[in-house]
Structures are given as structure tokens and as C-alpha cells.
Amino acid sequence: MDLTYESTSRLVQTATWKIHVNEAGEGHPLLLLHGSGPGATGWSNFGHNLRALADRFHVIAADMPGWGASDAVTVDERDHVRAAVELLDALGIEKAALVGNSMGGMTALRFAYTHAERITHLVTMGPGSPGPVLFGPGDGPTEGLKVLNAAYVDPSPERMLELVRIMTFSEEMADPAIAQQRSQTARSRPDHLANFIAGVGRRPFVDAHRLPEIAVPTLLFHGRDDRVVHFEHSLRLCAAIPDSRLVLLNRCGHWAQLEHAEEFNEMVADFVDR
């Protein structure tokens, strides 16, 4: 069966929030956590991956509270680690592999050292990390984060196309249809936009001292050409997490799971199976 957004979509009531998910497949659970950005959803970040991975796993791509079709939250209410735990509880899942892009990767990292009993594998793509930046851009937001923040203020298709272009390395990935869809999704939830803007500068960070506590097998992906989060961050994570390995992809931006989807899907599937 061809998996579509509609055929995999449902709302899950957790202890605190209604969380929208796209869910398919059977087997070991994979919880996919999207990045930030206006119009970001579990499906927009992972739709192509879900279709491939659902052949071997029970795949759940979630819209975290404050994004997509899930409940709105203020910056003070936002707690994506708690949301992930509550979602697994509501789905009756004791343990899962967590796969997180950017903001979702940072959520997965925090989850791994605060709820070690609930995670089997950790996979990240382009997350930030604690500590000073030595080789990438210095103080202040990166080129990509500036464009991302501007798109929250003006989520027009034109601004969203600029965002898609800076998230990717290849011009072929800068599809106007993707920009149009993200613009439409973002503009459909002005509450999400306003809450994010109000919380700029107050994002939760990863605790550097707790990274060595992460005991599960960890697979880190990062694009060599990432203009949103410099690949130095994943080098630091690889040095800090004992059972980790890093895949550094040339000709790749911030969305490794989209730009190198076939390789990404194969490596994640083999990693979790092993």
C-alpha cells in the first residue's frame, strides 16, 4: 500500500497534549522527531523516510506540541522530552529508537540521558551541542537560523523558498512545492508562529556534563555544507558520547534525511536491526 499523509495520520491524546502523528509499519518502534522552523511537521521532515522504514519498523513521525496539527504551547509550556515520553506511554510503547533532526535531535539527546530506560538507539541529524564554537560561525545566530527566524515573521511562499534553499545543499531540493506546502502549514497555525516568536532565545539546551551518560548505540549524521548548524557540533557529540559513530556527508546541508534519503534509510535500518 502506498503510504500517504492521510492514510497514516491520527491524533493521539497523551496525559497533557493532543499530538498528531503519522504512523505506519510493525516491528521495533522508531520515533521520528522533526526540527524547528515554520511549517515543520513530522511528515514534512520524514515523509519519504517513513515510507521506506515502515517496511521493517513501527514508525511514528510526531508533530511536537507547538508544531503542525498538535496542540499549541507557549515557550514556558514547551517540553518536548516530556511530550515524547507521554506519546510513547499513550501508544503503549516501553522502549523505542529515537531519530531526531536539528531541534528534534537535541530533544532525543536530552531524552537519552534523562530517560535511559525508554530508549534503545539514538540517531541525530544536525543537532546543536553545548560549548563554544571553534570553527563554525561565532556569536549570534547562523546564516540559516537568521532565515528561519525571519520566516516565522513572514511565512510567505517566497520567504519559505529562501528557507528551503538554505536548509539544503542542492538546488534540486529547493522545490517550490515544498516551500508552498510549508507556507500553507505555517499560516494555518498563527498560534504556533506567535508562540515560537515569543520564545526566541529561550530554547532548551543539552547538558554537556550528561552526554557521557548516554549508553545506547548512537549514530550521528551531519552535512558538511550545513549552514544552519555547523558540523563541528556533531564532532563534539561524537567525542562525548561513548558508543557513537559519525557520518559526515559531503554535498549535504541541514536535511540529511531528505538530501541523502536512500543512504540514510539504509544506514538507520541496518543500525537499529544490528
**Residues annotated catalytic, as ranges:** 254
Question: What is the rounded distance in angstroms from the CA atom of residue 89 to the CA atom of residue 14?
Answer: 8
Beta bridge partners of 62: 21, 33
- Joined grid coordinates for residue 218: 548512537
Question: What is the rounded distance in angstroms from the CA atom of residue 128 to the CA atom of residue 235?
Answer: 11
3-state secondary structure of 192: helix
Question: What is the rounded distance in angstroms from the CA atom of residue 59 to the CA atom of residue 220?
Answer: 19
Question: What is the rounded distance in angstroms from the CA atom of residue 29 to the CA atom of residue 59?
Answer: 6
The strand pair at 18-24 and 29-33 is best described as unpaired
Question: What is the rounded distance in angstroms from the CA atom of residue 253 to the CA atom of residue 224?
Answer: 7
Distances, alpha carbon 107 to alpha carbons 52, 68, 80, 119, 127, in Å: 23, 17, 6, 12, 9
Question: What is the rounded distance in angstroms from the CA atom of residue 160 to the CA atom of residue 39?
Answer: 9
Question: What is the rounded distance in angstroms from the CA atom of residue 99 to the CA atom of residue 82?
Answer: 16
The strand pair at 96-101 and 244-249 is best described as unpaired
- Alpha carbon 219 to its chain's center: 14
